[in-house]
Chains A and B, each alone.
Chain A
């Protein structure tokens, strides 16, 4: 099984298990390696005291918070609003520690011209990294201002308090922040310790604040990059080759150039685009250009039949994710199975878009990228200009859920803008381009072999997973599609196996349960015949699916209730708490259900070091069609200290529905000639008729605990809870996602 592919085993210094991972990375490199994907980020030159969150990368307080002479507060975050509500949560945190009204804060998000470099907005880490940094910076700024007032009044600081943008003395005299501040007093490095407010004095944190971005979104205010209209702006469309690697052999652009409104046909090697005064003119011109362009064959796709099953035979490298051996194994019963997940898309409702302007030698790009700084690095390398000559500004797009077409569209726009100096270029991908060219969530195959002893405890766990890397994000220009088509093309950098605490393909590959003997191996597949990158939760989606499906099968073997069986193996009290809460809220029992109904349970701690989430659900399988429909879900989440409870609830509901859609319906389809899932008809997702009747989210209250993030916590447990409920309803275990009606029907044999 594993002997054929042993090459360069990589081992991490700590064993995963019991929730006690030691994070061995410097914080700075964590900022760069948020998905556990970037190797070899260099640590800070000198050892310095560890600063909280992203302060470690950018220690000056005024990189995060500035106050002008009128007391107006500006807060800077390197994180971007992706629809997850991070702007609101950051404003709550800053307002809390600064003792100001949240409505008065001006928040500036990811912009290489203005904000700190916080890498990618990814991995459910915005609150841990940026939220923590801003909370500490805000507390320190507040105390500096109190210190200024103390000096001015010549009174001890303990006789002063901050309130509503002012420092107030015991006798009621007050100085507002504007009169206390000067530029230099905030241009100081943060200290490791801050006087954070205790939870019992919170005015904003822990309370559901309405999202600051929603009023604009429900009234049609221009807040998306798609809505930008700069003076003199032109509209562009790209024409992609029929397959990756195909080059432009010939082109007759005369007809297109004569079309109404067409400003330019831009050809740069095999990169091809058309620019028009108006948007629909650009679309019509693109369609004609598609007919006249002649391409070389390019790279064929693999034959789809049996392709995922063939992963075990592909060249691979082996990484040891965990290895633990404590007791002699007295295995009484063993469960063994193979689980798979197909390629799946991010599927943003709005295809990727960007606006770019080349002016005075600087290219400014407005993009819904998740990482303005890494995207700037990639685009400047592609344009062969210094990074200072490119500015990337984040503007919201449609939700991305990971590395979608955003960075590629930004590169397309930047490249077209080089041919249109002085004119802003709005580049919009078509639906089919997004479906075909966005990097997919990688297909995976996993094998589990787990054994119980006579007493019904798990004594041995072997797990092998086959997967590509789950990140091919910028940095390098070779990560951009447009750069592959230039006269001197940039190549995608070779993918490397790396075993990190937060994991990648191996994210959540190690069960959090107490198991004495364990071996977990990532068989890393360096070849990527389909373009792949980060999709919400990375490998955690299939690894938790496999682990939690196996837990149910082992519980059956042990003749135990699935919830009790999990608790039997769960030592982490916070893990136990969410399991017990979800079971209680659901009304978990062994009572019989109506014909065709089943209940399923699942648990994971995201990355084994972030949010805890457990869920129970009830579903119904229609025997005649095989259609599985979720009836109700009860979930419990522990995200650490809570900033915006309704924000956590919104993200968790959304995560459950999205992961249910992946699980019940979604698979990229392809043939040797190309991708065949090109729209919402050939790649169906969940619609209103199939969403559950009810989803409950209980939020565990953890005052004073570190922020743990929320956005991706539900992605792993959801497929497992669905599979376990189908098993309960029908007696059949499903191993291969998606559980489309025809697949379920075939499995239950009706």
Chain B
């Protein structure tokens, strides 16, 4: 059956069973790669996306709950040519090894910083607790999120469009 979803500002209809977890609709129907399959049971955070400004585990969220809500994935934060502040910060800090967990980290962090870009490091660590990284990139991820907060704060101060 058809489900209407708004993803990264674009509203579109997809043909999927309503029980289908959002993850599979994002990846298979909308061909968005940012959200990753890691565990399928909400234990690792690799599939994290934002729904109405909250971090949500897309592997355990059926699409039927998401009509009329705003879904954002890492693709919505910017592009390789024009990375958004979160992406720019992760590149600056070289905050990836294999990178598989990184989009989930970025989306969870985005939800935090959109609400308050000037949070401290302890709050970042606490907020990222649900997301697993196996390469051990944690130190850089925390630094990158702090840096993204600075960039977002600067941008909001200057009223800029970055």
Contact code string B83-105 (vs A, CB < 8 Å = 1, else 0): 10011001100101111111100
Q: How many residues of A contact B (CB 8 A)?
A: 61
B100: which of A350, A430, A679, A686 is its contact (CB, 8 Å)?
A: A350
Asked if B138 CB lies within 8 Å of chain A CBs, one says yes
Q: Which residues of B contact A431 (CB under 8 A)?
A: 38-41, 43-44
Query: Which of A94-102, A415-423, A654-662, A741-749 lines the interface with chain B?
Result: A654-662
Stretch from A214-222, A306-314, A491-499, A578-586 contacting the other chain: A214-222
Given contacts A211-B96, A679-B43, A349 and B132 within 8 Å (CB-CB): yes
Contact A349 B100 (CB under 8 A): yes
The 0/1 profile, CB within 8 Å of A marked 1, for residues 30-65 of chain B is: 011110111111011010000000000000000000
In angstroms, Cα B107 to Cα A237, docked, is 28
Output the residue of B44, B98, B132 with the most chain A CB within 10 A. Answer: B98
Bitwise, A643-675 to B at CB < 8 A (1) or not (0) is: 000100011011111100100000000000000
Docked CA distance A399–B139 (Å): 17
User: For the complex, is B20 an interface residue (Cβ under 8 Å from A)?
Assistant: yes
Instruction: Please tell me if B13 contacts chain A, counting CB pairs below 8 Å.
Output: no
A160 vs chain B, min Cβ distance (A): 37
> Do A226 and B36 touch (CB < 8 A)?
yes
Q: Mark interface residues in A635-647 (1 if CB within 8 Å of B CB, else 0).
A: 0000000000010
Residues of A within 8 A of B129 (CB): 687-689
Contacts A219-B80, A428-B37 hold; do A214 and B91 have CB atoms under 8 A apart? yes
The A678-702 residues at the B interface (CB cut-off 8 A) are 679-681, 685-689, 691-692, 694-695
Chain B interface residue bracket vs A: 35 or more
Contact call A226/B37, Cβ cutoff below 8 A: yes
Indicate which residue in A210, A221, A347, A646 contacts B134 across the interface (CB closer than 8 Å).
A347
A654 engages B136 (CB within 8 Å): yes
Are B24 and A661 in touch, CB under 8 angstroms? no
Which of chain B's residues 125-162 have a Cβ closer than 8 Å to chain A? 125-126, 128-129, 131-140, 142
Which A residues from 238 to 286 make CB contacts under 8 A with B?
278-280, 283
Please state if B91 and A350 are interface contacts (CB–CB under 8 Å).
Answer: no
Chain B contacts of A516 at CB under 8 A?
none
- A351 contacts the other chain (CB 8 A): yes
Closest residue on chain B to residue A348 by CB atoms: B134
- Asked if A71 is at the interface (CB within 8 A of a chain B CB), the reply is no
* Complex contact B134–A401 (CB within 8 A): yes
> Does A719 count as interface, using CB distance less than 8 angstroms?
no
Contact B31 A349 (CB under 8 A): no
Q: Is the CB of B128 within 8 A of A688?
A: yes
Question: How far does the alpha carbon of A397 sit from the alpha carbon of B33 in the complex, in Å?
Answer: 13
* Cβ contact within 8 Å between B136 and A280: no
Q: Which 6 residue pairs across A and B have the least CB separation, nearest first?
A: A83-B98, A657-B136, A217-B99, A399-B98, A220-B34, A654-B136
Can you add 20 more A-B contacts, CB < 8 Å, to A221-B33, A280-B20? A83-B99, A83-B100, A210-B91, A211-B96, A218-B90, A219-B74, A226-B37, A348-B98, A396-B98, A428-B37, A431-B39, A431-B44, A646-B94, A650-B137, A650-B140, A654-B136, A656-B136, A657-B139, A661-B136, A691-B138
Provide 10 A-B residue pairs closer than 8 Å at the C-beta atoms, listed in order of the A residue.
A84-B97, A215-B83, A219-B77, A219-B79, A227-B33, A280-B16, A650-B97, A650-B137, A681-B43, A689-B129
Task: Give chain B's interface residues, CB within 8 Å of chain A.
Answer: 16-17, 20-21, 24, 27-28, 31-34, 36-41, 43-44, 46, 73-75, 77-80, 83, 86-87, 90-91, 94, 96-103, 106, 125-126, 128-129, 131-140, 142
